[in-house]
Amino acid sequence: MAQNKAEMTNKFRTYVRKMADYKEAVAVLSWDVMTCAPVRGKEQRAEVIGMLSTELFKLGIAPEMGEMLDNLSDTDTYEALDPVTQAMVRELKKEYDKNKSIPADLFQAYTVLTAKAQVIWEEAKRNNDFVAFQPYLEQIIDHLNQFIDIWGYEGHRYNTLLDRYEPGVTVEMIDPLFADLRKKSVELLERIQANGKPSDTSFLRKHYPAQAQREFSKFVLQKIGYDFTAGRLDESAHPFSTGLNLGDVRITTKIYEHDLQMALYSSIHEVGHAIYEQNIAPELAGTLLWEGASMGIHESQSRFWENIIGRSEAFWSCFYSEAAAMFPGPFAGVSVNAVYRAVNQVQPSLIRIEADELTYNLHIMLRYELEKALITGDLRVADLPGAWAEKMSDYLGITPPNDAQGVLQDVHWSGGDFGYFPTYSLGNIYAAQLEAALSRDIPDYREAVRQGEFGIITRWMKEKVHRHGKMLLPAKIIREATGEGINATYLIAYLEKKYTDVYELA
Amino acid sequence: MAQNKAEMTNKFRTYVRKMADYKEAVAVLSWDVMTCAPVRGKEQRAEVIGMLSTELFKLGIAPEMGEMLDNLSDTDTYEALDPVTQAMVRELKKEYDKNKSIPADLFQAYTVLTAKAQVIWEEAKRNNDFVAFQPYLEQIIDHLNQFIDIWGYEGHRYNTLLDRYEPGVTVEMIDPLFADLRKKSVELLERIQANGKPSDTSFLRKHYPAQAQREFSKFVLQKIGYDFTAGRLDESAHPFSTGLNLGDVRITTKIYEHDLQMALYSSIHEVGHAIYEQNIAPELAGTLLWEGASMGIHESQSRFWENIIGRSEAFWSCFYSEAAAMFPGPFAGVSVNAVYRAVNQVQPSLIRIEADELTYNLHIMLRYELEKALITGDLRVADLPGAWAEKMSDYLGITPPNDAQGVLQDVHWSGGDFGYFPTYSLGNIYAAQLEAALSRDIPDYREAVRQGEFGIITRWMKEKVHRHGKMLLPAKIIREATGEGINATYLIAYLEKKYTDVYELA
């Protein structure tokens, strides 16, 4: 019997390892398309990616998989499994049940719909034509509601969608957090606009040669703790991070020669994701648990490095002399403190991905509230542009001149990714909670940043967050790291402190 | 019934398309390992490549494949198929029969043996220790002989091995060609060494900055006809070309800053392979016929561009001013004719891959003769180093000081690739035949080279060679392009003419 269990476990783990290998192949091919592939080869490459993704999906819902999961989920058997295999069974069974419960023709129709919708969305955005996209969005919402009915839900219908990206987190948990954060953010923004002392940011838009930017980013990333023997930095239209395997976690950036911040902060953002994956426990490789706990926890790492560390005065104390040596023209006569202030300027704007640290969350909440209302039917798709404009005005005091710069700006909805947006703000909330815990555990960590001793931080993050991979739920990681549940007050306090300082508010 | 046949064909072609997709995935992952992947990610990447290769192999020998091939090979059905599907059935049935006929445990043992042998060979080469490699080579030869017995053979036993790389070509065809080429090459080498007027090559080893070399190679490749919207040039330890798909055929090169020839001629060599694949008929994409007709035909294209064109005076007339502008120091006071002579100097040497155009074939014949003798048992592995030294002395007048620079220099034998070497010289023979036919069809083609109008050549090659992909056997391609069978006299005449000119022989 024990023999039998060991065999069963081995068979299951070998099977999952093969799935992980397929996943890696898809990730390598996708990286290649984004960074390297010549334009004429991309269409056929997409076919290969599609074929391999289908094979991976089929492995996940194969009868053989169902049988293994049934056997391993049997209470006695499950209790006797090692913790890693238990987590694998838990995660794969959840996926299996979800995917098997959807009728094949419905799933197929949805796949075709979202593929088509993404093409239509691109055109609609280019042509500023919401009406062209509207029927697709309506159908996507209709499909998602069918899925919610099949999968079931507790509390709010939207919870089932949220769970795909942030397992265990619910509307009931988020709503009060977001309400508080939104109120405080809007107030803070109003104080900045009324009484803040703006800084000179003109040096940020001087000429920064591409090659020097590349080298400076590499210098910073290496110093922070990114292992270049297990990764690489390239350039792509949209910066991203991709964990191919334990020894190969790559990032990309994007360089504007008249903008210091684009390449630097997108590199630091992506490297936050990458350092996370480089530090997942090696025994999780090939188990499908070798990934982040959730989108929100992943984002907490990128935002922590990008904003909390990367936009701190301590960070610029550390890197100022290197930056001044590499960009002598733009940095001439600019002090460390002036850099710190410049990279923390706030300006309400239309486009989420260009937003500053304070207003970013307002963009997210707007989307989150609209998504919930679309799913429940409280908001009709036809009324979406109006609702968008109203909330933009309420939260940010500006309204988009057209839908391309409004409701059509993001790709997410065309792919059916409802429930994804809130994880961005959850990432900011988690990041501030983690920073508070870090500064309790290591009170002088800012001095370490000033000295360039980042190891003290990455070791702490590795211990508290990274090593767990997908073994633990996000709320559990936060509780174990910080001693409490998800809590937005740390982010609010952090923002108030930073902007009081930067804008010399009373 | 007609309906049935169409369905059968569609099913077969969809199945094969999936195989082609797997092949593309393996090729992309392999390219990535050779050019991009960080060192710590390579081992796990090899597992993914192995998994996908196994899936591809399994598709090729699956019962479903056997059944489709049986049905489609039925004479009436076969005759009614379109020519592309016929060729697919022919090629895939040949592979299927070969692979199915080998007992699974024998095949598995051979796979393990060659994987191990390649590791042992690397160590043996590093340690100059032939004895360590000897038992592995003996076992590989033993396995190959078992395969030959299973697959059968006509004429010489070696023909079965040769057929894997150069279908339809036999020892009986090659032996007389090679005997003549060897005799004439040795005589020509002796004349050069006795009476040739050597040229100054010192400028070739001056400083050529890497970035300028990259740009010069790109300039040349683009001019020759390589489509960079369907390919790219990177760097790797060993230059190679890889056809990923119709719109994505990549090459790599290797740059030495004190050697003009390494990067330039390896780029041109590889681009010969790449232009071949970029010009295969698009309707062969996804059929597994979207590849070269044979290793020899492939090599004819790389050698044609590298040596016949790239080392011609017309080529240097075309590119001299660009080279002189990019490398003003080294090219100062060096004439077009001096460059032409310098890149055509002959020097017997120990290492095949460093050999000049004349002595290269002697390295190949030596290996070909030893391979045949090893397979028939006329030569024992233990006696190989001695036999190697003897032939080196006979053909090239030099002997290796150790086995690392002798019998252990090439990777091929450790991977079981007996039958591969002769295709390199067949490539040279084909290339010279094609050049002769080209100059009959387009007598002033050298003037076009001088003017940089390479399209006239690539269009001719596309018509005669490239577009056919793997539809035709190599000998048929040569016959249709040149009007005769495989014939070494063109290569001999070409070499005699070139070296009489370069060395001012009487």
DSSP for B175-229, written as a single string: HHHHHHHHHHHHHHHHHHHHH------GGGGS---HHHHHHHHHHHHHHHT--GG
DSSP string, A115-160: HHHHHHHHHHHHHT-HHHHHHHHHHHHHHHHHHHHHH--SSSTTHH
Q: For B397-467, where are the alpha helices, taking DSSP H only?
A: 422-441, 445-451, 455-464
Nearest CA in chain B to A49: B25
* Closest Cβ opposite residue A28 in set B18, B21, B32: B32
- What does the block give as tokens for B260? 């003009």
Query: Cβ contact (<8 Å) for B230 and A40?
Result: yes
Query: Cβ contact (<8 Å) for B232 and A285?
Result: no
Cβ contacts of A250 on chain B, cutoff 8 Å: 38
- Which three-class secondary structure state does DSSP give residue B232? coil
Alpha carbons B476 and B481: distance in angstroms, whole number: 8
Alpha carbons B502 and B506: distance in angstroms, whole number: 11
Q: What type of residue sits at position B31? A: W
Query: Cβ contact (<8 Å) for B38 and A246?
Result: no
Alpha carbons B253 and A203: distance in angstroms, whole number: 41
The answer to whether residues A220 and A327 touch, using CB atoms and an 8 Å cutoff, is no
- Short-list B139, B77, B67, CA closest to B106: B139
The answer to whether residues A230 and B38 touch, using CB atoms and an 8 Å cutoff, is yes
- Summarize pLDDT for B231-253 with one digit per residue, the tens: 999 999 999 999 999 999 999 99
Query: Cβ contact (<8 Å) for B41 and A246?
Result: yes
Rg (C-alpha) for chain B, rounded Å, is: 23
Query: Cβ contact (<8 Å) for B247 and A44?
Result: yes
Q: What is the pLDDT of residue B365?
A: 97
Nearest CA in chain A to B247: A41
Alpha carbons A432 and A308: distance in angstroms, whole number: 8
Cβ contacts of A222 on chain B, cutoff 8 Å: none
Cβ contacts of A34 on chain B, cutoff 8 Å: none
Catalytic status, residue B270: yes
Q: What is the pLDDT of residue B4?
A: 83
B256 DSSP assignment: B
Q: Which residues contact A191 (CB under 8 A, 6 or more apart)?
A: A505
Query: Cβ contact (<8 Å) for B40 and A248?
Result: yes
Query: Cβ contact (<8 Å) for A229 and B21?
Result: no
Query: Cβ contact (<8 Å) for A245 and B41?
Result: yes
The answer to whether residues B267 and B239 touch, using CB atoms and an 8 Å cutoff, is yes
Tell whether A283 is within 8 A of chain B (Cβ). no
Tell whether A8 is within 8 A of chain B (Cβ). no
Q: What percentage of chain B carries pLDDT values higher than 90?
A: 98
Q: Report domain extents, chain B.
A: 1-101
Q: What is the pLDDT of residue A5?
A: 84
The enclosing H or E element of A244 equals strand A241-245
Q: Compute how many other C-beta atoms are within 10 angstroms of the C-beta atom of residue A133.
A: 24
Alpha carbons A401 and A381: distance in angstroms, whole number: 19
Q: What is the pLDDT of residue B233?
A: 98
CA distance A248 to chain B (A): 5
Query: Percentage helix, strand, coil, to 5, in chain A?
Result: 70, 5, 25
Backbone angles phi and psi of B405, in degrees to 5: -95, 10
Query: Cβ contact (<8 Å) for A18 and B51?
Result: yes
Size of interface A-B (CB pairs under 8 A): 112
Cβ contacts of A243 on chain B, cutoff 8 Å: none
Nearest CA in chain B to A52: B22
Tell whether B6 is within 8 A of chain A (Cβ). no
- Which three-class secondary structure state does DSSP give residue A243? strand
CA distance B250 to chain A (A): 9
> Using CA of residue A315, residue A317, residue A323, residue A327, what is the dihedral sign?
positive
- Summarize pLDDT for B450-470 with one digit per residue, the tens: 999 999 999 999 999 999 999
> Using CA of residue B343, residue B349, residue B355, residue B358, what is the dihedral sign?
positive
- What strand order describes the sheet that includes B248-253? B233-235, B248-253, B241-245
Cβ contacts of A32 on chain B, cutoff 8 Å: 28, 32
- What does the block give as tokens for B320? 């001299």
CA distance A277 to chain B (A): 13
How many angstroms from the chain centroid is the CA of residue B405? 22
Among the listed ranges A4-8, A444-448, B21-25, B369-373, which one has the minimum average pLDDT value?
A4-8
The half-sphere exposure of A289 on its side-chain side, counting CA atoms within 13 A, is: 24
Scored b (16 or more CB within 10 A) or e, A259-272 reads: bbbbbbbbbbbbbb
Put simply, the chain A residues between 196 and 235 with a CB less than 8 A from any chain B CB are 227-232
Nearest CA in chain A to B286: A44
Q: What is the mean pLDDT of chain A?
A: 96
> Within chain B, which residues score under 50 in pLDDT?
1
Put simply, the chain B residues between 24 and 63 with a CB less than 8 A from any chain A CB are 24-25, 28-29, 32, 36-45, 47-48, 51-52
Tell whether A476 is within 8 A of chain B (Cβ). no
CA distance A267 to chain B (A): 18
Q: Which residues contact A141 (CB under 8 A, 6 or more apart)?
A: A374, A375, A381, A418
Query: Cβ contact (<8 Å) for A247 and B18?
Result: no
* C-alpha dist (Å) from residue A364 to A183, A269, A370, A428, B327: 14, 18, 10, 11, 55
Query: Cβ contact (<8 Å) for A44 and B285?
Result: yes
Cβ contacts of A29 on chain B, cutoff 8 Å: 25, 28-29
- Summarize pLDDT for A404-420 with one digit per residue, the tens: 999 999 999 999 999 99
Q: What is the pLDDT of residue A3?
A: 62
Nearest CA in chain A to B54: A18
Best A245, A279, A290 residue to mutate vs chain B (most B CBs within 10 Å): A245
Nearest CA in chain A to B24: A48
DSSP string, B274-314: HHHHHTS-GGGTTTT-SS-S-HHHHHHHHHIIIIIITTSHH
- What does the block give as tokens for A501? 């300082």
The answer to whether residues B46 and B32 touch, using CB atoms and an 8 Å cutoff, is no
Nearest CA in chain B to A39: B229
Alpha carbons A272 and A303: distance in angstroms, whole number: 7
- What does the block give as tokens for B141? 């030869």
Q: Is the pLDDT of residue A506 over 90?
A: no
Query: Cβ contact (<8 Å) for A38 and B228?
Result: yes
**Annotated active-site residue in B270, B299, B306, B313:** B270
Query: Cβ contact (<8 Å) for A45 and B39?
Result: no
Best B32, B33, B40, B229 residue to mutate vs chain A (most A CBs within 10 Å): B40
Alpha carbons A180 and A495: distance in angstroms, whole number: 13
A468 DSSP assignment: G
Q: What is the pLDDT of residue A2?
A: 57
Scored b (16 or more CB within 10 A) or e, B37-76 reads: bbebbbebbebbbebbbebbbeebbeeebeebbebbeeee
Query: Cβ contact (<8 Å) for B42 and A246?
Result: no
Q: What is the pLDDT of residue B5?
A: 84
- What does the block give as tokens for B177? 């060609």
Q: What is the pLDDT of residue A205?
A: 97
- What does the block give as tokens for A271? 């490297």
